[in-house]
Structure 1
Amino acid sequence: MTVTQPQAEPVHRAGAPDEDRPIGVILTDIKGDLGRLVGEQLAIAKAEMRQEGVKAGIGGGLIAAALLGGFMMLLFGSLAAVYGLGHLLGNGWAALIVAGVWLLFALFTGLIARSVLKRLNGPQLTIATLKENLEWARSLKK
């Protein structure tokens, strides 16, 4: 899902030039434009955060899977040590192989989770737009 910035309406309304309009009407228009601008910025931020939330959820799920794999490796590794010391051959080797498989699973899912979480960016479009708005507001001050 990509986020696109909504198209803004033109600031100047059809009709009389600005110098012929009463100051109250101009201020009302400015208030409405600012309200619409803030609303659009919030909508963009929500959409971007929703996208980042999905990525974070996937990364969190993969971390949980890696933790499960690590737990299973410890469980089967412990069982392998018990069987290995008890019998020196046989059941211990089987448990050790299972523990090795779980270790590989934990490493694999942990690496995938790390790469997914590194790709989290935050609301980049919102930040860029807010910077543009700040520059615009500063240019009006001059």
Structure 2
Amino acid sequence: MTIPRPHDAPDHVADTSIGDLIGNISNDLSQLFRQEVDLAKVEMKQEATKAGKAAGMLGAAGFAGYLAVVLLSFAVVFGLANVMDAGWAALIVAVVWAAVGGVLFVNGRNKLKTVDPVPHRTVDTLKEDAQWLKNPTG
């Protein structure tokens, strides 16, 4: 079966069957899909590179902050050593840091208990999709 030819259509279009047209559409859609996937890969690689650089900077900032806390702690110890024995000064600073660490640990543990690892919305939509596949008209 061939498609009726309009007056200004080229000869090769008029001689193309419906099967060939559907095949061409299928090939074009496959090529379009592959191109979209390739584009997504390139974009994701670019974003991953930017995220990696940002993570590196954040890591370096965390390390710099850690060094600042250590050096400030030493400064507090040496400052307190001017008014008391250096051993007691170091012990006071250590106890303060232990208290800070304990509070942060308890707060972090309590927050961790509220984390739910199950993606409920995704599970619900997957169930809906499965239900629709079983009964697409309902």
TM-score, normalisation: structure 2: 0.50
With CA pairs under 8 Å and 6+ residues apart, which has the higher RCO, 1 or 2?
1
TM-score, normalisation: structure 1: 0.48
